């Protein structure tokens, strides 16, 4: 059954901290950066993950990117890696990892995803992490499970699931989630969120102001930040997509991706106050 994606479906599942909460109990999120000239996407995703509440955010980067990232990261930790194997070791203990934004479409990205798929962390795979598997999608699907999230726009979706869009976006997303055995977020004016068990939601508060570079990286970080806090991946994706659009609509003309993380607190506060009011009734 297909539902409209509204806060009433997932607001009560958002991971609000309690009096005894500490940073480690709020979830550990990893974000894999690209090389030295491709670090912006990881920075956007990391900041978004922090804004939605992940207590520990670690940017994992190729060695040549460390000098670029070190001066611009504040609350996020920075950990260089020199090989897929060392990436796997550094990712041990993380609850979720975002990979793909700025990663490149080569074998290094495929090898990194292969290693991370056995790390125990839930994966949010976006952008180059999807396009790298064009023509070899089954290699990607083999390593996925129901906690993982794929976030393609229509072009990336077609590379992984050729021909499915002919059935319509909702049916295509559901079939893709079942084939991949992972949550699929098919981005667009009305983003479709689908789970392997057949659940499907259409997000109807989409904002045209999101049509600018980098906003997808922010969304991936938001999903990762909620999943790291052990929110169910389908619910986390649904919440992140709605929050992303709501924040963009509130800003309007002139929006750039760098604005989005800073726009999230008032949207989150409104949901928090609504949930607290509902709980006191």
Burial of 277 from C-beta contacts in 10 A (0-12 / 13-18 / 19+): exposed
* Reported pTM: 0.98
Low-confidence residues in the chain, pLDDT < 50: none
Alpha carbon separation from 123 to 44, 149, 169 (Å, rounded):
17, 6, 23
Domains and CATH numbers, the chain: 23-269 (3.40.1190.20)
User: In this structure, which long-range contacts are made by residues 43-46, counting pairs with CB atoms below 8 Å and at least 24 apart in sequence?
Assistant: 43/69, 43/72, 43/73, 44/101, 44/214, 44/217, 44/218, 44/221, 44/257, 44/258, 44/260, 44/261, 45/98, 45/101, 45/217, 45/218, 45/220, 45/221, 45/224, 46/73, 46/76, 46/221
DSSP per-residue letters across 84-124: HHHHHHHTTT-SEEEE-TT--SSHHHHHHHHHHTTSSSEEE
Q: Residue 1 has what pLDDT? A: 78
Predicted confidence at residue 280, as pLDDT, reads 61
Q: What is the pLDDT of residue 278?
A: 87
- H or E element in which residue 77 lies: strand 77-81
How many whole angstroms separate alpha carbon 219 and alpha carbon 150?
Answer: 11
Give the model's pLDDT for residue 279: 73
Q: What is the pLDDT of residue 281?
A: 58
């Amino acid at each position: 059954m297909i539902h409209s994606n509204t806060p009433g479906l997932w607001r009560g599942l958002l991971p609000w901290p309690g009096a005894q909460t500490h940073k480690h109990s709020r979830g550990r999120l990893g974000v894999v950066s690209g090389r030295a000239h491709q670090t912006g996407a990881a920075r956007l995703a990391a900041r978004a993950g922090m804004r939605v509440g992940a207590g520990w955010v670690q940017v994992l980067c190729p060695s040549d990117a460390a000098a670029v990232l070190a001066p611009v990261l504040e609350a996020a930790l920075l950990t260089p890696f020199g090989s897929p194997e060392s990436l796997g070791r550094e990712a041990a203990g993380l609850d979720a990892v975002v990979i793909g934004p700025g990663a490149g479409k080569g074998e290094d990205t495929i090898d990194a995803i292969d290693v991370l798929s056995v790390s125990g962390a839930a994966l949010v795979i976006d952008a180059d992490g999807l396009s790298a598997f064009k023509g070899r999608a089954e290699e990607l699907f083999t390593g996925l499970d129901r906690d993982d999230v794929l976030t393609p726009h229509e072009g990336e979706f077609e590379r992984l699931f050729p021909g499915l869009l002919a059935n319509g976006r909702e049916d295509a997303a559901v079939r893709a989630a079942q084939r991949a055995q992972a949550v699929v977020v098919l981005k667009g004016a009305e983003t479709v969120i689908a789970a392997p068990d057949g659940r499907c939601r259409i997000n109807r508060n989409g904002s045209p102001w999101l049509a600018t570079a980098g906003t997808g990286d922010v969304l991936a970080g938001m999903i990762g930040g909620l999943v790291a806090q052990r929110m169910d991946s389908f619910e986390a994706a649904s919440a992140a997509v709605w929050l992303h659009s709501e924040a963009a609509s509130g800003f309007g003309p002139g929006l750039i991706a760098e604005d989005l993380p800073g726009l999230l607190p008032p949207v989150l506060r409104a949901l928090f106050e609504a949930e607290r009011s509902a709980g006191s009734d």
